[in-house]
Structure 1
Amino acid sequence: MTGKISRAVMTALAVCLITFSSLGHAQAIDETPSALAMTGDALLVRPALFATTIVGTAVYLVSLPFSALGGNAGEAGEVLVVGPAKATFVRCLGCSRTGRRAETVDQDSN
Protein backbone atom coordinates (compact mmCIF):
# COMPACT_ATOMS: atom_id res chain seq x y z
CA MET A 1 0.00 0.00 0.00
CA THR A 2 2.74 2.48 0.91
CA GLY A 3 4.61 1.56 -2.28
CA LYS A 4 1.64 2.63 -4.42
CA ILE A 5 1.26 5.91 -2.52
CA SER A 6 4.97 6.58 -2.73
CA ARG A 7 4.98 5.88 -6.47
CA ALA A 8 1.95 8.14 -7.00
CA VAL A 9 3.54 10.98 -5.02
CA MET A 10 6.81 10.66 -6.94
CA THR A 11 4.94 10.65 -10.27
CA ALA A 12 2.92 13.72 -9.29
CA LEU A 13 6.09 15.50 -8.15
CA ALA A 14 7.87 14.70 -11.43
CA VAL A 15 4.92 15.94 -13.48
CA CYS A 16 4.76 19.19 -11.47
CA LEU A 17 8.49 19.82 -11.82
CA ILE A 18 8.42 19.25 -15.56
CA THR A 19 5.32 21.42 -16.03
CA PHE A 20 6.49 24.34 -13.91
CA SER A 21 9.99 24.41 -15.38
CA SER A 22 8.61 24.63 -18.91
CA LEU A 23 6.28 27.48 -17.90
CA GLY A 24 9.19 29.42 -16.46
CA HIS A 25 11.19 29.13 -19.66
CA ALA A 26 8.24 30.04 -21.87
CA GLN A 27 7.78 33.54 -20.42
CA ALA A 28 9.30 36.40 -22.38
CA ILE A 29 11.46 38.96 -20.63
CA ASP A 30 9.51 42.18 -20.15
CA GLU A 31 11.54 45.21 -21.18
CA THR A 32 8.75 47.71 -20.58
CA PRO A 33 8.88 47.96 -16.79
CA SER A 34 6.03 49.38 -14.77
CA ALA A 35 6.24 52.46 -12.58
CA LEU A 36 6.47 50.22 -9.51
CA ALA A 37 9.41 48.31 -11.03
CA MET A 38 11.17 51.58 -11.86
CA THR A 39 10.57 52.99 -8.38
CA GLY A 40 11.76 49.83 -6.66
CA ASP A 41 14.83 49.75 -8.89
CA ALA A 42 15.68 53.38 -8.20
CA LEU A 43 15.10 53.27 -4.44
CA LEU A 44 16.23 49.76 -3.49
CA VAL A 45 18.15 47.91 -6.18
CA ARG A 46 20.48 50.63 -7.51
CA PRO A 47 21.80 51.66 -4.07
CA ALA A 48 22.39 47.99 -3.20
CA LEU A 49 24.21 47.42 -6.50
CA PHE A 50 26.27 50.58 -5.95
CA ALA A 51 27.29 49.27 -2.51
CA THR A 52 28.12 45.92 -4.13
CA THR A 53 30.33 47.72 -6.64
CA ILE A 54 32.19 49.53 -3.86
CA VAL A 55 32.65 46.37 -1.76
CA GLY A 56 33.67 44.41 -4.87
CA THR A 57 36.28 47.04 -5.71
CA ALA A 58 37.71 46.84 -2.20
CA VAL A 59 37.81 43.04 -2.32
CA TYR A 60 39.44 43.18 -5.75
CA LEU A 61 42.15 45.56 -4.54
CA VAL A 62 42.88 43.41 -1.48
CA SER A 63 42.98 40.21 -3.53
CA LEU A 64 44.87 41.71 -6.49
CA PRO A 65 48.33 40.40 -5.51
CA PHE A 66 46.96 36.88 -5.11
CA SER A 67 44.87 36.93 -8.29
CA ALA A 68 47.81 38.41 -10.24
CA LEU A 69 50.01 35.57 -9.06
CA GLY A 70 47.27 33.11 -9.97
CA GLY A 71 46.88 34.65 -13.43
CA ASN A 72 43.24 35.60 -13.15
CA ALA A 73 43.36 39.29 -12.22
CA GLY A 74 41.29 40.23 -15.29
CA GLU A 75 38.61 37.66 -14.52
CA ALA A 76 38.48 38.77 -10.87
CA GLY A 77 38.10 42.40 -11.96
CA GLU A 78 35.33 41.47 -14.36
CA VAL A 79 33.35 39.58 -11.73
CA LEU A 80 33.98 41.80 -8.70
CA VAL A 81 33.98 45.29 -10.26
CA VAL A 82 32.81 45.45 -13.87
CA GLY A 83 29.78 43.18 -13.54
CA PRO A 84 28.20 45.05 -10.60
CA ALA A 85 29.13 48.41 -12.16
CA LYS A 86 27.38 47.50 -15.41
CA ALA A 87 24.32 46.33 -13.50
CA THR A 88 24.33 49.61 -11.58
CA PHE A 89 25.01 52.18 -14.28
CA VAL A 90 24.37 50.59 -17.72
CA ARG A 91 20.84 49.26 -17.41
CA CYS A 92 17.52 50.94 -18.10
CA LEU A 93 15.53 51.78 -15.00
CA GLY A 94 13.43 48.76 -14.01
CA CYS A 95 14.84 46.47 -16.72
CA SER A 96 16.04 43.00 -15.88
CA ARG A 97 18.88 42.72 -18.41
CA THR A 98 22.13 44.61 -18.18
CA GLY A 99 22.97 46.84 -21.11
CA ARG A 100 21.46 49.72 -22.96
CA ARG A 101 17.89 49.48 -24.12
CA ALA A 102 17.64 48.92 -27.86
CA GLU A 103 16.33 51.96 -29.68
CA THR A 104 13.27 51.31 -31.78
CA VAL A 105 13.31 52.46 -35.40
CA ASP A 106 10.15 53.83 -36.97
CA GLN A 107 9.50 52.00 -40.26
CA ASP A 108 6.80 54.44 -41.45
CA SER A 109 9.11 57.35 -42.28
CA ASN A 110 8.32 57.72 -46.02
Structure 2
Amino acid sequence: MTGKISRAVMTILAVCLLSFASLGHAQAIDEKPSALAMTGDALLLRPALFATTIIGSAVYLVSLPFSALGGNAGEAGEVLVVGPAKATFVRCLGCSRSGRKTETVEQDDY
Protein backbone atom coordinates (compact mmCIF):
# COMPACT_ATOMS: atom_id res chain seq x y z
CA MET A 1 0.00 0.00 0.00
CA THR A 2 2.76 2.46 0.88
CA GLY A 3 4.51 1.62 -2.40
CA LYS A 4 1.48 2.76 -4.40
CA ILE A 5 1.19 5.99 -2.41
CA SER A 6 4.90 6.63 -2.77
CA ARG A 7 4.73 6.14 -6.55
CA ALA A 8 1.69 8.40 -6.79
CA VAL A 9 3.42 11.16 -4.79
CA MET A 10 6.57 10.87 -6.92
CA THR A 11 4.51 11.02 -10.12
CA ILE A 12 2.61 14.10 -8.96
CA LEU A 13 5.87 15.77 -7.91
CA ALA A 14 7.51 15.02 -11.28
CA VAL A 15 4.51 16.38 -13.20
CA CYS A 16 4.48 19.57 -11.11
CA LEU A 17 8.20 20.16 -11.56
CA LEU A 18 8.04 19.59 -15.29
CA SER A 19 5.04 21.87 -15.74
CA PHE A 20 6.68 24.70 -13.77
CA ALA A 21 9.85 24.39 -15.85
CA SER A 22 7.89 24.64 -19.09
CA LEU A 23 6.15 27.80 -17.89
CA GLY A 24 9.50 29.49 -17.37
CA HIS A 25 10.68 28.63 -20.87
CA ALA A 26 7.44 29.64 -22.55
CA GLN A 27 7.81 33.34 -21.81
CA ALA A 28 9.77 35.45 -24.28
CA ILE A 29 12.67 37.37 -22.82
CA ASP A 30 12.74 40.99 -23.83
CA GLU A 31 15.60 42.73 -22.08
CA LYS A 32 15.73 46.49 -22.21
CA PRO A 33 18.27 47.43 -19.52
CA SER A 34 18.14 50.83 -17.90
CA ALA A 35 21.01 53.33 -17.84
CA LEU A 36 21.72 52.36 -14.22
CA ALA A 37 21.93 48.68 -15.15
CA MET A 38 24.29 49.46 -18.02
CA THR A 39 26.50 51.65 -15.83
CA GLY A 40 26.66 49.08 -13.05
CA ASP A 41 27.45 46.37 -15.56
CA ALA A 42 30.24 48.38 -17.18
CA LEU A 43 31.85 49.58 -13.95
CA LEU A 44 31.35 46.64 -11.57
CA LEU A 45 30.33 43.42 -13.25
CA ARG A 46 32.48 43.35 -16.38
CA PRO A 47 35.78 43.81 -14.49
CA ALA A 48 34.73 41.13 -11.99
CA LEU A 49 33.74 38.75 -14.81
CA PHE A 50 37.02 39.45 -16.59
CA ALA A 51 38.91 38.54 -13.39
CA THR A 52 36.77 35.41 -13.11
CA THR A 53 37.70 34.47 -16.68
CA ILE A 54 41.42 34.87 -15.93
CA ILE A 55 41.22 32.92 -12.65
CA GLY A 56 39.08 30.23 -14.29
CA SER A 57 41.64 29.89 -17.08
CA ALA A 58 44.43 29.43 -14.53
CA VAL A 59 42.40 26.85 -12.59
CA TYR A 60 41.60 25.05 -15.85
CA LEU A 61 45.27 24.85 -16.81
CA VAL A 62 46.23 23.50 -13.39
CA SER A 63 43.40 20.96 -13.37
CA LEU A 64 43.78 19.96 -17.04
CA PRO A 65 45.85 16.79 -16.43
CA PHE A 66 43.34 15.56 -13.87
CA SER A 67 40.25 16.45 -15.89
CA ALA A 68 41.81 14.86 -18.99
CA LEU A 69 42.37 11.65 -17.05
CA GLY A 70 38.80 11.85 -15.79
CA GLY A 71 37.45 12.42 -19.29
CA ASN A 72 35.79 15.76 -18.64
CA ALA A 73 38.35 18.28 -19.94
CA GLY A 74 35.81 19.77 -22.34
CA GLU A 75 33.19 20.21 -19.64
CA ALA A 76 35.76 21.78 -17.30
CA GLY A 77 36.82 24.21 -20.03
CA GLU A 78 33.21 25.11 -20.73
CA VAL A 79 32.45 25.88 -17.10
CA LEU A 80 35.73 27.50 -16.04
CA VAL A 81 36.68 29.45 -19.17
CA VAL A 82 34.01 29.65 -21.87
CA GLY A 83 31.06 30.48 -19.59
CA PRO A 84 32.73 33.45 -17.86
CA ALA A 85 34.24 34.63 -21.17
CA LYS A 86 30.80 34.65 -22.83
CA ALA A 87 29.35 36.54 -19.87
CA THR A 88 32.19 39.05 -20.11
CA PHE A 89 32.55 39.65 -23.83
CA VAL A 90 29.41 38.36 -25.62
CA ARG A 91 26.58 39.89 -23.63
CA CYS A 92 24.79 43.15 -24.22
CA LEU A 93 25.57 45.86 -21.69
CA GLY A 94 23.17 45.58 -18.76
CA CYS A 95 21.57 42.32 -19.94
CA SER A 96 21.36 39.37 -17.59
CA ARG A 97 21.64 36.57 -20.20
CA SER A 98 24.84 35.67 -22.00
CA GLY A 99 24.97 35.76 -25.76
CA ARG A 100 24.24 38.37 -28.37
CA LYS A 101 21.01 40.26 -28.14
CA THR A 102 18.84 39.15 -31.00
CA GLU A 103 16.88 41.61 -33.05
CA THR A 104 13.17 41.40 -32.41
CA VAL A 105 10.91 41.16 -35.41
CA GLU A 106 7.76 43.22 -35.18
CA GLN A 107 4.62 41.64 -36.55
CA ASP A 108 2.34 43.93 -38.51
CA ASP A 109 -1.41 43.66 -38.02
CA TYR A 110 -3.11 43.36 -41.38
TM-score normalised per structure 1: 0.69
The RMSD of aligned alpha carbons is: 2.0
- What is the deviation of 1:103? 1.0
Q: Residues of 2 paired with 1:80 and 1:40: CA distance?
A: 24
After alignment, is 76-85 or 96-105 more displaced?
96-105
Q: In structure 1, how many angstroms separate the alpha carbons of the residues matched to 2:94 and 2:64? A: 33
**If you compute each CA radius of gyration, which structure gives the higher value, 1 or 2?**
1
Deviation (angstroms), 1:105: 3.5
Match of 1:104 in 2: 104
Question: After the TM superposition, which segments of 4 or more aligned residues of structure 1 sit over 4 Å from their partners?
Answer: 27-30
Q: Which residue of 1 aligns with 2:56?
A: 56
Deviation, 1:73, is 0.2
Residues 37 and 30 of structure 1, relative CA distance in 2, 3 Å threshold? farther
Task: Give aligned pairs, total.
Answer: 83
Letter in 2 for 1:53: T
How far, CA to CA, are the matches of 1:46 and 1:33 in structure 2? 15
One-letter identity of the residue aligned with 1:56:
G
For structure 2, the 5+ residue unaligned runs are 1-23
TM-score, length basis structure 2: 0.69
Percent pairwise identity: 89
Deviation at 1:104, TM superposition (A): 2.8
Match of 1:74 in 2: 74
CA distance change for structure 1 residues 28 and 106 in 2, over 3 Å: closer, same or farther? Answer: closer
